[in-house]
Amino acid sequence: MNKKSLLIIAIVGVISIIICSLCAYGIYRLVKNDESSDDSKDTSETSTNEQKTSQTTSSTDTDTAIGTKKLIFIHHSTGENWLADYDGGLGSELAGNGYFVSDTNYGWGTDSIGDSTDIGHWWNWFRGPDSSTYLEELYKEGDQNSEYARDSSDPGGENEIIMFKSCFPNSDLKGSASAQVPNISNNPLKGEASDGQYHTVANAKGIYIDLLNYFETRQNKLFVVITAPPLGSNNTDSSTAANARTFNNWLVNDWLDDYNHDNVAVFDFYDVLTNHGQSNYAEFPTDEWDDHPSTEGNLMATEEFIPFLDSAYKTWKKD
């Protein structure tokens, strides 16, 4: 083979190598571009999904964190413990679910009406000659009179949820559970404390029946009754304990039968603290002689109360 032929073969070989290299590089770039395109698409979709998730979370957190539903709680020591972060934690749980909570306690208001929270006293708050004064102050109250977490600032306006509770001495109900309910004009429990002879099942029913006359006129408020806690077995007898059960069953199941509005609700604190009917006595007392609910009992009540209140509030708003 002459030199000319060898040179031609060498040149052809070099050209072939160059062409192969160019083809390989082209294929590499094509694959790389496809991968980059897929990565860009995935990143874009991830970013969009993250943005949507962020917007949803932000909206949910805002609805939960801002206490736009203003609530006032009328109570004494049992309510104070229930609200407290170190006990029942109700205050912080309400705040975390969009409620701005204020409360009254001993010594609150005109005539220190905050001292009076027995069943007979509710007539003074809502129906008595000075009720307009008490309620005007109550609806405008925005301060705390107990210790509990309240992270959000006052959203303004009046309290729209009025929550009120009598303490455990109110479970000392006397008389016959089937006695006739007196007309309010003849009801001797009107304005009276729970430690007298007039604190009977029939008279207590009469007080609550009369309250509906006021509640009916205030459809812009949600009134939430908290039943009185039970007494312990060392502080009552079986007959009186049975009266307490009868009265609270009536309050929860029958009181509102003829009331045609959704602005009144009853939370059965009594039933929770008897461990839902395990007995008619306090199943979660502080100790055998102290009928203040224990932390365990209060925490149970908090867990049940939040969904109860949310449901009552939504029902009322749809009315």
Single out the residue of 85, 104, 91, 77 nearest to residue 229, CA to CA: 77
Which domain does 83 fall in, by range? 64-318
Mean pLDDT calculated for residue range 199-221 = 98
Report the number of distinct structural domains present in the chain: 1
Does 46 map to a domain?
Answer: no
Does 36 map to a domain?
Answer: no
Mean pLDDT calculated for residue range 114-141 = 98
| Position 152 confidence tier, pLDDT thresholds 50, 70, 90 | confident
Does 94 map to a domain?
Answer: yes
Is a pLDDT exceeding 90 seen at residue 138? yes
Is a pLDDT exceeding 90 seen at residue 185? yes
Task: Return d(Cα 80, Cα 52) in angstroms, integer.
Answer: 41
Single out the residue of 82, 96, 104, 86 nearest to residue 301, CA to CA: 82
Does 52 map to a domain?
Answer: no
Around 33, how many Cα atoms within 13 Å sit in the side-chain half-sphere?
6
Is a pLDDT exceeding 50 seen at residue 220? yes
120 alpha-carbon distance from chain centroid: 27
Does 188 map to a domain?
Answer: yes
Find the CATH number of the domain harbouring 280.
Answer: 3.40.50
Quote the pLDDT of residue 319: 63
Residue 283 bridge partners (DSSP): none
Mean pLDDT of the chain: 86
Is a pLDDT exceeding 50 seen at residue 31? no
Does 41 map to a domain?
Answer: no
Does 280 map to a domain?
Answer: yes
| Position 65 confidence tier, pLDDT thresholds 50, 70, 90 | very low
Mean pLDDT calculated for residue range 1-13 = 48
Does 127 map to a domain?
Answer: yes
